């Protein structure tokens, strides 16, 4: 067993799952998208209501993991930061090629993390995870619940 997998299991068992009761995310684990088309990806999450600060905005973030699909994406890597592909928070650095193509469209407060991929591109293939922030306490990345995007129609010429 590789060190990586061991590190991964350790992180999952000790970190995310046990300490953050109330946080769940429901979305398809695998999404197939046809190249060049638009797709809406439904997603729902729950958060710990006790972490809510009533006067703050909810911010949602989708990250594309630098890890290859099917590998553990749970351990954030210092050397290869994950790429932010969309957020409703102003002033964030978003991956240039997805800036106007990928966007959140749900009500975050209602636990809606759905998003659109428009004009799907080959580079959109990969592993994604969601992060929610609200106020000072509610900050959570759903590392353990990744969504894999696959592209069909790869060989079509444009």
Ligand X SMILES: *[C@@H]1O[C@H](CO)[C@@H](O)[C@H](O)[C@H]1NC(C)=O
Q: Which of residues 12-51 bind ligand X (CB under 6 A)?
A: 44
Q: Which of 101, 77, 87, 109 is nearest to 4 (CA)?
A: 77
Binding footprint of ligand X, residue count (CB under 6 A): 6
Q: How far is the CB of 113 from ligand X (least distance, A)?
A: 8
Residue nearest to ligand X (CB): 106
- Binding ligand X (rule: CB under 6 A), the pick from 32, 81, 105, 109 is 105
- Binding ligand X (rule: CB under 6 A), the pick from 71, 112, 118, 121 is 112
Contact 49, 140 (CB under 8 A): no
Partner residues linked to 139 by β-bridges: 133
Partner residues linked to 90 by β-bridges: none
Judged by beta carbon, residue 12 or residue 52, the one nearer ligand X is 52
What is the DSSP code (8-state) at residue 51?
G
In angstroms, the CA 95 to CA 119 distance is: 15
In angstroms, the CA 49 to CA 20 distance is: 12
Contact 144, 131 (CB under 8 A): no
Contact flag: residue 121 with ligand X (CB under 6 A):
no
Judged by beta carbon, residue 60 or residue 73, the one nearer ligand X is 60
From 88-96, 106-114, 119-127, 142-150, span contacting ligand X (CB under 6 A): 106-114
Residues near ligand X, by CB under 6 A: 44, 54, 105-106, 112, 114
């Amino acid at each position: 067993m590789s060190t990586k997998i061991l590190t991964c299991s350790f992180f999952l068992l000790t970190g995310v799952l046990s300490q953050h009761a109330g946080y769940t995310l429901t979305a398809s684990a695998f999404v197939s998208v046809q190249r060049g088309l638009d797709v809406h990806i439904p997603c729902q999450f729950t958060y710990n209501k006790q972490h809510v600060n009533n006067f703050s905005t909810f911010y949602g973030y989708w990250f594309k993991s630098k890890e290859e699909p099917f590998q553990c994406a749970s351990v954030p890597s210092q050397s290869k930061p994950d790429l932010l592909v969309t957020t409703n928070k102003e002033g964030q650095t978003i991956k240039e090629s997805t800036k106007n193509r990928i966007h959140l469209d749900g009500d975050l407060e209602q636990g809606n993390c759905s998003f659109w991929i428009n004009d799907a591109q080959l580079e959109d293939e990969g592993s994604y995870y969601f992060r929610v922030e609200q106020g000072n306490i509610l900050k959570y990345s759903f590392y353990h619940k990744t969504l894999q995007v696959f592209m069909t129609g790869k060989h079509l010429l444009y």
